[in-house]
């Protein structure tokens, strides 16, 4: 049985309850008080000490709300021509997204790890065993989503554990528990896939034709890594959420590099051997 | 390629430009319209590697090249005691320094032995650890035999026994592929990541590092033999010839790498790295030595050439590692790389 997340960005209100719940439950150190200037997002990005990160996207690139708008009608999903020629798209274009480790099916971080610290646990989640990691940091540039970083004070690397400890006790992860809008859903990957499909159908029926699921190998362009166990429902290009459109498995080319290295070794050997001729 | 996202996005609302209509407030010429990403926050994280790693790449490359040259000399029947001696001691020193540098770089150095828990063929870092263990042991044995031959262990029964027991030729032939692996793997280590500049160049990264390793090793040998006024005349001639040829191979591989990297190789020519890469590697480490090698040979000139090649190789490794950091921190580079045919995908087999 594989468990994972489905993060529905269309209902996220940016309250950051997940960020807080994650920090509290997992006892992750604070990141300090720094103002980023990036909207209301002072967390900025995922890291070894931030396992949930809520992105605040103020999208000026989109239609603006102009004219005399009936906000009640708007909230009730009225999609006809608005008075004063007002145009709108996804409630005034605030976009929030609670980002997290994608728990890739063919996880590049796991393949990179030389100590075997990164494993798939019994819930099929990608898990870093803190008692094994020696902080070589090779998983950091391997991750196609910039999820892992080394925590300098500790020396090791950390990331979302999908609340391994809570799952073992039959509880859902802290972030999913805390989320007030159910933007973060936790469950079996197969179930969540169905939930996601239904939600997309609903969204499309409401006129959000651009809605799609990010994280399935067939649809989201994540085939390079076999898809993600934590998926997202998105309304915008993946890049808007700082996600790669087609993440790839860096290790797919290790065998190729062996071959080219062997050829190069042969050529160099021959070149040097030729120099010995009298 | 499964490219449903792109199609969905491009066709949505009938607008070709991702469904973004032109408005008076955001005209088509507004640069923000096409800006991708999230406040310029890098979508991937750069490796934390500091100076230890590029320095290790350099030393590992030299060890590989030294092993290649001395083994070939041995197999092809060119016996030069000084060369053998320098080669064996160098490999040992390199194989002592390399793990020190690598362990130094760990976040938890006291746990270095966890590298020996598993061996994962797909992890260049794991392969590196194991190949260093193997080559370290082989070069250690060879160095012990050399020490016994040189009388450093005393002229006693033990020394004679060691000389008898350690089969030098077999060991050095065994060590050759391992050493070459160490040298090339320094490149694979970089290319098997999500960093656009490195990953794009997967085919030439390891060969280029290996070629550069061999050229620096030949220069190193020639430098040491010149400084000590050791070695036979023939050794020097062969070294010189081989140096010229490998620098040419290296130059060709760097050119191929640059072509392959294309726009993702830009960091190598950035303000911070260009002095290292263009000045240090291309001009100092390749062009100048080639010019020096074509003229009449003198001892001083050879020494200068060797120093230039060695420094050029060191600059190359620093440029590559730091260039990768810039590449990882550039959202545009990563998004353009991971948006289509550029990045390696499951369906393209080697
Ligand atoms: S998103 Fe990154 S850290 Fe998470 S499983 Fe995938 S590669 Fe590993
Ligand atoms: S830093 Fe730790 S988890 Fe990451 S690759 Fe190294 S040993 Fe594995």
DSSP secondary structure of A138-158:
THHHH-TT---EE-TTT-SEE
Pairwise CA distance, residues B103 & A205, whole Å: 57
Predicted confidence (pLDDT) at residue B65 exceeds the cutoff of 70: yes
- Three-class secondary structure of residue A247 per DSSP: coil
Q: Locate the DSSP E strands across chain A.
A: 3-8, 52-58, 94-100, 118-120, 126-128, 149-150, 157-158, 184-188, 212-214, 230-234
Strands (E), chain B: none
Q: What is the pLDDT of residues B5-42, one digit of tens each?
A: 444 444 433 334 444 444 444 444 445 545 678 999 99
pTM of the full structure: 0.90
Judge if A272 and A187 occupy the same domain. Answer: no
Average pLDDT over residues A227-247: 93
User: Average pLDDT, stretch B142-152?
Assistant: 94
pLDDT at B343: 74
pLDDT tens sequence across B227-265: 999 999 999 999 999 999 999 999 999 999 999 999 999
* Percent of residues, chain B, with pLDDT higher than 90: 83
**Residue to substitute in A111, A119, A133 for testing ligand 2 pocket (most ligand atoms within 8 angstroms of CB):** A133
Question: Is the pLDDT reported for residue A234 higher than 50?
Answer: yes
Shared domain for A194 and A264, answered yes or no, is no
Question: For position A260, what pLDDT does the model report?
Answer: 97
Q: Is residue B223 part of a domain?
A: yes
Based on the domain organization, do A242 and A263 belong to the same domain?
Answer: no
d(CA B218, CA B240): 8
| Residue in the structure block whose two tokens are 């032109």 | B22
Residues 88-127 on B with a CB inside 8 Å of A are 105-109, 111-112, 114-115, 117-118, 120-126
Q: Is residue B200 part of a domain?
A: yes
Cα-based distances in Å from B211 to A132, A180, B214: 35, 58, 5
A137 lines ligand 2 (CB under 6 A): yes
Same domain as A211, residue A167? yes
Same domain? A66 vs A163: yes
CATH code of the domain in which A155 resides: 3.30.70.20
Mean pLDDT of A97-120: 97
d(CA A184, CA A201): 18
- Compute the nearest-CA separation of A171 from chain B (Å): 31
Q: b/e per residue, A75-89, with b = 16+ CB within 10 A?
A: eeeeeeebeeebbbb
**What DSSP designation does A236 have?**
S
- Residue B31 placed within a domain: no
Residue B220 lies in a domain: yes
Q: How far is the CA of A115 from the centre of ligand 2 (A)?
A: 7
What are B187's two structure tokens? 């490149």
B159-217 confidence digits (pLDDT tens): 999 999 999 999 999 999 999 999 999 999 999 999 999 999 999 999 999 999 999 99
Would you place residue A149 in the very low, low, confident or very high pLDDT band (cuts 50, 70, 90)? very high
User: Structural domain of residue B118, as residue ranges?
Assistant: 46-339
Task: Judge whether B106 lies within some domain.
Answer: yes
Is B56 inside any structural domain?
yes
Mutation to probe ligand 1, out of A3, A143, A162 (largest number of atoms < 8 A from CB): A143
Buried b (16+ CB within 10 A) or exposed e, B213-231: bbbbbbbbbbbbbbeeebb
Q: Nearest C-alpha to atom 5 of ligand 1 is from which residue?
A: A103
pLDDT at B145 > cutoff 80:
yes
* Number of domains making up chain B: 1
Which ligand places an atom closest to the C-alpha of A251? 1
Among B9, B46, B210, the residue with its CB nearest the CB of A237 is B9
- Region A101-112: mean pLDDT is 97
Shared domain check, A157 and A54: yes
Say which DSSP state A114 is in: S
Which one of A137, A141, A220 has the shortest CB-CB distance to B44? A141
Substitution target in B12, B22, B34, B39 with the highest count of A β-carbons within 10 Å is B39
Question: According to the model, what pLDDT value does residue B10 have?
Answer: 44
Domains: count for chain A: 2
What integer is the mean pLDDT of A16-20? Answer: 97
Structural domain range at position A262? 253-278
- pLDDT in the model for residue A44: 94
> How far is ligand 1, taken at its centre, from the CA of residue A136, in Å?
16
Residue A209, pLDDT > 80, answer yes
The confidence score (pLDDT) of residue B20 equals 45
Count of pairs with CB atoms under 8 A, one residue in A, one in B: 315
Per-residue pLDDT tens digits for B308-341: 999 999 999 999 999 999 999 999 999 999 987 7
Query: DSSP letters of A169-199?
Result: TT---HHHHH-TT--EEEEEHHHHHHHHHHH
Q: What is the pLDDT of residue B1?
A: 33
- Does residue B15 lie within any of the structural domains? no
A167 Cα to the center of ligand 2, angstroms: 23
CB count within 10 Å of CB A42 equals 15
pLDDT at position A24, please? 97
* Number of Cβ atoms within 10 Å of the Cβ of B271: 6
Q: Which of A148, A189, A226, A232 to mutate to test the pocket of ligand 1 (most atoms within 8 A of CB)?
A: A148
CATH number of the domain where residue B200 is located: 1.20.1630.10
Residue B150: per-residue pLDDT: 93
Ligand number with the minimum distance to the CA of A250:
1
Q: Do A141 and B195 touch (CB under 8 A)?
A: yes
Beta-carbon contacts of residue A52 (< 8 Å; ≥ 6 apart) = A18, A19, A21, A22, A46, A98, A99, A100, A160, A175
CA distances from residue B332 to A150, A239, B317 in whole angstroms, order as listed: 24, 10, 24
Residue B132, C-beta contacts closer than 8 angstroms, at least 6 positions apart: B60, B95, B98, B99, B102, B182
Residue B104 lies in a domain: yes
- Which positions in chain B touch A252 (Cβ < 8 Å)? 344-346
Same domain assignment for residues A221 and A263 = no
B269-299: pLDDT as tens digits: 999 999 999 999 999 999 999 999 988 889 9
Q: What is the mean pLDDT of residues B72-101?
A: 96
For residues B9 and B36, is the Cβ–Cβ distance under 8 A?
A: no
CB within 8 Å: A275 and B340: no
Atom in ligand 2 nearest the alpha carbon of residue A132: 7
pLDDT at residue A66 in the model: 56
What confidence tens digit (pLDDT) does each residue in A44-82 have?
A: 999 999 999 999 987 654 445 555 556 666 666 555 565
Distance from residue A241's CA to the centre of ligand 2 (Å): 26
């Amino acid at each position: 049985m594989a468990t994972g997340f489905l993060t529905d960005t269309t209902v996220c209100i940016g309250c950051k309850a997940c960020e807080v719940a994650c920090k509290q439950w997992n006892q992750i150190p604070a990141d300090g008080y720094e103002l980023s200037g990036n909207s209301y997002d002072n967390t900025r990005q995922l890291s070894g000490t931030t396992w949930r990160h809520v992105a605040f996207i103020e999208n000026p690139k989109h239609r603006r709300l102009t004219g005399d708008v009936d906000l009640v009608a708007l909230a009730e999903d009225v999609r006809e021509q608005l008075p004063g020629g007002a145009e709108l798209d996804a409630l005034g274009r605030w976009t929030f997204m609670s980002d997290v480790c994608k728990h890739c099916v063919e996880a590049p971080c796991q393949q990179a790890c030389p100590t075997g610290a990164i494993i798939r646990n019994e819930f099929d989640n990608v898990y870093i065993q803190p008692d094994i990691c020696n902080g070589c940091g090779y998983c950091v540039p391997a991750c196609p989503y910039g999820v892992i970083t080394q925590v300098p004070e500790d020396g090791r690397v950390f990331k979302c554990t999908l609340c391994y400890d809570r799952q073992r006790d039959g509880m859902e992860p802290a972030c999913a528990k805390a989320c007030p809008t159910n933007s973060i859903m936790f469950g079996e990957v197969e179930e969540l896939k169905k939930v996601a499909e239904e939600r997309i159908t609903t969204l499309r029926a409401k006129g959000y034709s651009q809605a799609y699921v990010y994280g399935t190998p067939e649809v989201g362009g994540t085939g390079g890594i076999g898809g993600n166990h934590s998926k997202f429902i998105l309304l915008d290009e993946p890049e808007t959420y700082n996600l790669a459109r087609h993440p790839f498995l860096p290790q797919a080319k290790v065998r190729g590099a062996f071959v080219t290295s062997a050829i190069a070794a042969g050529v160099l050997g021959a070149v040097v051997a030729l120099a010995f001729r009298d | 390629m499964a490219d449903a996202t792109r199609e969905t996005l491009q066709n949505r609302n009938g607008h070709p430009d991702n469904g973004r209509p032109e408005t008076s407030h955001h005209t088509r010429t507004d640069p923000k319209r096409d800006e991708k990403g999230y406040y310029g926050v890098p979508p991937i994280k750069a490796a934390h590697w500091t100076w230890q790693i590029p320095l290790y790449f350099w030393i590992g490359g030299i060890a590989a090249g030294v092993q290649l040259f001395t083994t070939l000399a041995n197999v092809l029947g060119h016996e030069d005691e000084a060369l053998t001696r320098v080669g064996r001691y160098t490999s040992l020193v390199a194989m002592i320094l390399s793990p020190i540098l690598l362990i130094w770089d760990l976040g938890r150095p006291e746990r270095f032995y966890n590298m020996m828990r598993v061996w994962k063929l797909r992890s260049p870092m794991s392969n590196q650890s194991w190949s260093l263990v193997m080559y370290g042991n082989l070069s250690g044995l060879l160095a012990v035999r050399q020490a016994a031959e040189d009388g450093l262990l005393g002229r006693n029964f033990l020394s004679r026994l060691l000389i008898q027991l350690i089969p030098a030729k077999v060991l050095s032939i065994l060590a050759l592929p391992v050493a070459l692996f160490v040298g090339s793997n320094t490149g694979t280590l970089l290319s098997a990541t999500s960093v656009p500049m490195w990953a794009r160049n997967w085919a030439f990264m390891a060969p280029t590092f290996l070629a550069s390793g061999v050229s620096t090793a030949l220069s190193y040998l020639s430098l040491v033999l010149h400084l000590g006024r050791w070695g036979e005349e023939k050794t020097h001639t062969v070294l010189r010839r081989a140096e010229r040829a490998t620098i040419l191979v290296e130059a060709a591989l760097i050119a191929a790498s640059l072509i392959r990297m294309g726009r993702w190789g830009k960091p190598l020519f950035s303000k911070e790295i260009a002095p290292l890469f263009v000045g240090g590697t291309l001009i100092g480490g390749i062009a100048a030595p080639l010019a020096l090698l074509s003229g009449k040979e003198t001892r001083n000139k050879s020494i200068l050439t060797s120093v230039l090649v060695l420094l050029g190789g060191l600059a190359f490794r620093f440029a590559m590692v730091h260039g990768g950091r810039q590449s990882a921190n550039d959202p545009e580079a990563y998004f353009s790389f991971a948006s289509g045919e550029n990045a390696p995908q499951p369906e393209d087999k080697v």
